[in-house]
Amino acid sequence: MTETSTAPIHRASVREWASLGVLTLAVVLLAIDGTVLALAVPSLTADLGPTATQVLWIGDVYSFALAGLLVTMGNVADRIGRKRLLLIGSVAFGLASAAAAFAQTPELLIAARALLGIAGATLMPSTLSLVRTIFRDARQRTTAIAVWSAGATGGAAAGPLVGGALLEHFWWGSVFLINIPVIIVIVIAGAILLPESKGGSRTPIDLLSAVLSVLAIVPLVYAVKHVAGHGFDWTVPLTALLGIGAGWWFVRRQKRLTTPLIDLQLFRIPAFSGAVVANSLSVFALSGLLFFFSQYLQLVRGFTPLLAGAAELPATLASIAVIAIIGLLSRRVGPGRSIGLGLAVAAVGMAGLAVAEGLPTYWGIAIALAVVGLGVGVSMTLSTDAVVAAAPRERAGAASAISETGYELGVALGIAVLGSLQTAFYRSNLDVTGDGLATGLADRVRESLASASQVLQPGSPVLDHARAAFTGGMQLASICAAVALAVAAAVALRVIPNRQDGPHEH
């Protein structure tokens, strides 16, 4: 987007860079909360005794609430003030964290996780739109978004590491209680450092559109998660049709409203639409792989939870290193080519990971993860920057919410599609009929490698066979992820321009 104006370019002060630290801390917190729970499931299951369905809801309801409300909360932020909503949401997040930590029943934990998702939906669009407001200079804004993106990717990767460290010393509720001191810092520092900003619209939010946006997203996320977790049954087409129908109604309604919840005109800006698609595809590839990667490290490689979290750090460190080069790369190469290049590098790294997963040493995995982290770090930073820069400042919250919704859908679809491929490959390559196992035991082995590891003795030939089948499934998922990243690279090179032409600053 052209940042030229008759007024001098506003350069960020030390105070404004400090405010970026507050916003990044909020993003890190949300990203950690999305992944930290996986390691705590065994201990909370032993304590609370939830059913298998309740365990799924404890894990999934957070992402359902978060993804379903992002668009609405982005618009709320534009109207009542992004700083105000961020601080209100932070307090709510802290209270919900305490409720989750001390939940005495599975039902109370599910309710607390839903409240965490609702509060999280108020934070994500507010953080990104405040970055847009605070950093007016295009170069500084790109650097700021690189820091913000590193917080998001680093937080997601740090979740298992934080969870593993806490669970070695404390009970499962500690993975929620750790949020509270961070929230206190965000609220106090945010109240002091963050500026208030609002959009131009004062019209009330269309409530029917808000409901339709939830009905369009949550059933679709449920459908893909259900396929990944349980396989295909009658609920999948029913919920998918509900989501598609609500989405169709939502789009028709937006075209008629004077102040729509989503400004569909934004998708006519190549930098915006191309960046949303490229970002969603890259997240699809990364999340679908990493969802099973921690299991691979623990169940196949024999790593402890803490060591498995540490083993994923090369991707995080490489994505953080992007901060040092992103401004120069964008100026010299251009955003469209840089995003395409980043995605192509990530595709090469993902293909390398497919090879390294079958090798006996860890170092090939570390190098491949670093290459993936570097490529995804570049592409996510610049595609997020393209989304934010292409929208008018007064619609920054709504535009940020579209980007975040694409991100959440990419996560859900990646886990469902690549996860289903991985599981299908594991089961198709696992022949236990000739191993003399009882029917019930054979079923447990076929269910998953985690289940097989619980019922088979270490050193069992069947367990070794199951590990080999799981590794083969991981390699297939890695190749599919590499193909998705290559497609995203082609989209970026074809659609995203190397000059960001959008609406002028207001």
Q: Which residue has the tokens 């982005």?
A: 74
Average pLDDT for residues 284-291, to the nearest whole number?
A: 74
Express each pLDDT in 356-382 by its tens digit. Answer: 988 888 999 999 999 998 898 888 888
Residue 409 reports pLDDT greater than 80: no
Which residues are CB-contacts of 207 (< 8 A; sequence separation ≥ 6)? Answer: none
Express each pLDDT in 64-114 by its tens digit. Answer: 788 778 778 878 887 888 888 889 999 999 999 999 999 888 899 999 999
Express each pLDDT in 142-176 by its tens digit. Answer: 788 888 877 777 776 677 777 777 877 888 888 88
Contact by Cβ (8 Å): 130, 143 = no
Containing H/E element for 168? none
pLDDT for position 262: 76
Most confident of 316-325, 342-351, 449-458: 342-351
pLDDT for position 438: 62
Residue 187 reports pLDDT greater than 90: yes
Most confident of 54-63, 198-207, 350-359: 350-359
Residue 178 reports pLDDT greater than 60: yes
* The Cα angle at residue 425 between residues 422 and 428, in degrees rounded to 5: 150
pLDDT for position 504: 40
CA nearest to 449, candidates 226, 299, 245, 249 = 299
pLDDT for position 88: 92
Residue 501 reports pLDDT greater than 60: no
Q: Kindly write down the DSSP assignment for every residue of 464-495, as one continuous string.
A: HHHHHHHHHHHHHHHHHHHHHHHHHHHHHHHH
Q: Look at 238 and 64; give whichever has higher pLDDT.
A: 238
Euclidean distance between CA atoms 351 and 424, whole angstroms: 20
H, E, C per residue of 441-457: HHHHHHHCHHHHHHHCC
Residue 265 reports pLDDT greater than 60: yes
Number of other CB atoms surrounding residue 454 within 10 Å: 11
Q: Two tokens at 353?
A: 């990971």
Residue 208 reports pLDDT greater than 80: yes
CA distances from 398 to 267, 279, 406 (A): 13, 17, 13
The overall average pLDDT reported for the chain is 80
Residue 204 reports pLDDT greater than 80: no
Express each pLDDT in 432-478 by its tens digit. Answer: 665 556 666 777 777 667 667 767 777 778 888 888 888 888 888 88
Q: Two tokens at 4?
A: 């030229």
Average pLDDT for residues 320-333, to the nearest whole number?
A: 80
Contact by Cβ (8 Å): 214, 72 = yes
CA distances from 29 to 151, 357, 422 (A): 9, 30, 29
Express each pLDDT in 48-63 by its tens digit. Answer: 877 766 777 787 788 7
Q: Kindly write down the DSSP assignment for every residue of 170-191, as one continuous string.
A: S-TTHHHHTHHHHHHHHHHHHH
Residue 7 reports pLDDT greater than 80: no
CA distances from 248 to 66, 226, 369, 399, 408 (A): 21, 22, 39, 20, 19
pLDDT for position 180: 92
Residue 295 reports pLDDT greater than 50: yes
Give the up-direction half-sphere exposure of residue 427: CA atoms within 13 A in the CB hemisphere: 14
Counting Cβ atoms within 10 Å, is residue 237 exposed (0-12), middle (13-18) or buried (19+)? exposed
At 61, which amino acid appears?
V
DSSP 432: -
Q: Look at 144 and 353; give whichever has higher pLDDT.
A: 353
Length of the chain: 506
Express each pLDDT in 380-408 by its tens digit. Answer: 888 877 777 776 666 666 667 777 777 77
* The Cα angle at residue 337 between residues 336 and 341, in degrees rounded to 5: 120
